[in-house]
Amino acid sequence: EYGTARTMAWFLDKALPFGRAANHTSRSHALAPSGDSFRKDNGLATCHSDDLLCHKGMRYTPCSSECSSRHQCTTSLFDGVVELTRNVTEECDVVLYTQSLGYDVRGMKLQAMYTEDEEVLICNLAFVPRNSRLVTAVTKSVPEDKLAEYGIPARNSTDAKSWNEIMLNQLNGVLLYKGWFLIWVEGGHEALSTEDAFLMKLTPGKFFSDDVKHAVYVDEKFRQSPTTDDVLFLIS
């Protein structure tokens, strides 16, 4: 009986995650408005936020999401760049951003316009795979004599693999490509989970500095590259 009640509560929450509508009057459904209410009606304790067994089977939001309010949350493809993007967007009033992930990116069709308006500073970010042809091409274009300015040691100071890791870490978030500051993400060339695919579109707040007042997402497949006037119109 106990197991059946817990199972029913689980299915009820899956079917009606936000509870039954307030104006629902049908007599054909006598179930409680939520899984927790159903458990209470059957004399069972409700699920504590730390009770992993009780919550088994439920989907948690990514830890980097603004919607993550439980102690249990899932790791995300973007966890490793949260601090980086917050630093990059300091003093930015508006962030225009896009992502090209889930495959080996060679280039981007969208062109961003860099402008330093006296009143509004718009920063353009593009999230791309760390292991992609685009990142390889962009990093190789940096002159050898400029690498030291980014804290990158001479090539012969360490083995090739270690040097490449240092180079990628130091250049992340500082190189421009078609007006976008590139943010490369580890594992971004692989197929994305549903959570990773929509995280930056729906709840990006934790990734941007507190200075940022507006964030505007543009899909990589958008046919028209956004202009500064477009962005200013959207936030007006």
Kindly state whether residue 71 falls inside one of the protein's structural domains.
no
For residue 69, being part of any structural domain is answered with: no
Same domain, 206 and 89: yes
Which candidate, 84, 81, 94, 169, places its Cα nearest to that of 124?
94
Structural domain includes residue 70:
no
Identify the band that residue 155 occupies on the pLDDT scale cut at 50, 70 and 90. Answer: confident
CB-based contacts of 47: which residues, under 8 Å, 6+ apart? 36, 39, 54, 55
Q: Is residue 63 part of a domain?
A: no
Whether residue 216 contacts residue 98, with contact meaning beta carbons closer than 8 Å, is answered with no
- Position 62 confidence tier, pLDDT thresholds 50, 70, 90: confident
Task: Give the chain's mean pLDDT.
Answer: 83
Query: What does residue 148 show for φ and ψ, rounded to 5 degrees?
Result: -60, -30
Domain that holds residue 189: 79-235
Q: What is the pLDDT of residues 190-218, one digit of tens each?
A: 999 888 999 999 989 999 999 999 999 99
Mark whether 128 and 189 lie in a shared domain.
yes
Number of domains into which the chain is organized: 2
Residues 88 and 48 in one domain: no
pTM for this prediction: 0.74
| Within-domain flag for 66 | no
Q: How far is CA 85 from CA 61, 91, 149, 192, 200, in A?
A: 20, 12, 20, 20, 12
Output the pLDDT for position 90: 96
Q: Please, are residues 211 and 91 in contact by the beta-carbon 8 Å criterion?
A: yes
176-177 and 180-185 beta bridge pairing? antiparallel
